[in-house]
Amino acid sequence: MNSLAHYTDTGGASDHVFILCRMLGFRFCPRLRDFPDRRLASIEPPTSYGELMQPLFGRRIKTDVIRENWDDAMRLVASLQAGVVAPSVMLKKLAAYPRQNKLDLALQELGRIERTLFMLDWLESPDLRRHCLVGLNNGEQRHSLAQVICTFQQGRIAERSTEAQQFRASGLNLVIAAIVHWNSTYLADAIAHLQAAEEVIPAEWLAHTSPVSWEHISLSGDFLWDKAAATASGRRRLNLIQIRPAA
């Protein structure tokens, strides 16, 4: 998947994530709840920006640390791109390193630069703020679907062994993928039906549709896969019955 942006809430935001996402080719776009409490980072002394701007800045960027550890940072990014190490594993290791670790400090300084650029774009661009909110809501909708599927286990994986937990999580992802695939397929059919009926569907509306919905799907009961496969006869027809709201 060629991602262009990664959306999270404040809990998933750190300076390491800011720079690693940028160096891997996409942008990190969190919704920062504590935005007013964060300070901008600069290479020049904060006094260079005038007395009014000076309170907005924190400490200066340590450019010497970045220069000394640039090659190691490039090797780390190359390892992540090649799949030699998982980004989640590396972020955990960086968080566990002592504060004197040079690579950790260099990534932190680079991340402060990227975070500052993001914060400035956030202040200047209403479109960026809107896209971050929409992207975060899409992720939350996916989490809500996973919670609904796991409702009988109260949204928790009860298995104790790692293998059983991975098996349960893989099954959950499979069900979510099946629902998204079903919805995506029939959303396309619904759009084609409306267009054939000469209904006007503005292209910008399609950006606000989401295949992550489950109100029309039964999530409890017994699923007879063999019987369903034996009786399957192509795709289902669209349900064109209009449901009128009660008076």
pLDDT of 82-113, one tens digit each?
Answer: 888 888 788 787 777 666 688 889 999 999 99
Residue 34 sits in the same domain as residue 63:
yes
Local structure of residue 212 (DSSP, 8 states): -
Number of folded domains that form the chain: 2
Residue 115 sits in the same domain as residue 170:
no
Residue 162 sits in the same domain as residue 117:
no
Residue 155 sits in the same domain as residue 66:
no
Per-residue pLDDT band for 246 (boundaries 50, 70, 90) equals very low
SS3 28: strand
**Does 239 reside within a domain?**
no
Q: Both tokens of residue 75?
A: 């090797």
Quick one: average pLDDT of 147-160? Answer: 71
Place of tokens 């349900």: 239
Q: How many residues does the chain have?
A: 247
Residue 95 sits in the same domain as residue 134:
no
CB-based contact 56:75 (threshold 8 Å) = no
SS3 24: coil
Residue 51 sits in the same domain as residue 66:
yes
Q: Both tokens of residue 13?
A: 């935001």
pLDDT of 225-243, one tens digit each?
Answer: 777 777 666 677 777 766 5
What pLDDT score was predicted for residue 152? 57
Max Cα separation, the chain?
A: 76
What pLDDT score was predicted for residue 90? 82
What pLDDT score was predicted for residue 151? 66
pLDDT of 172-212, one tens digit each?
Answer: 888 899 899 988 888 888 888 888 888 888 888 887 788 88
Residue 102 sits in the same domain as residue 141:
no
CB-based contact 179:145 (threshold 8 Å) = yes
What pLDDT score was predicted for residue 47? 87
Q: Rounded to an integer, what distance in angstroms lies between the CA atom of residue 108 and that of residue 159?
A: 37
Q: Which domain holds residue 109?
A: 5-124
Higher-confidence residue: 160 or 1? 160
User: Which domain-ending residue is among 124, 154, 189?
Assistant: 124
Percent of the chain with pLDDT over 90: 28
SS3 6: strand
pLDDT of 8-29, one tens digit each?
Answer: 888 888 899 999 999 999 999 9
Residue 244 clears pLDDT 70, i.e. is over it:
no
Q: Which of 141-145, 146-150, 152-156, 220-224 has the lowest mean pLDDT?
A: 152-156
**Does 95 reside within a domain?**
yes
Q: Rounded to an integer, what distance in angstroms lies between the CA atom of residue 247 and that of residue 216?
A: 22
DSSP for 46-72, written as a single string: GGGG-TTTGGGB-SPP-HHHHHHTHHH
State the number of CA atoms in the 13 A half-sphere of 220 facing the CB.
5
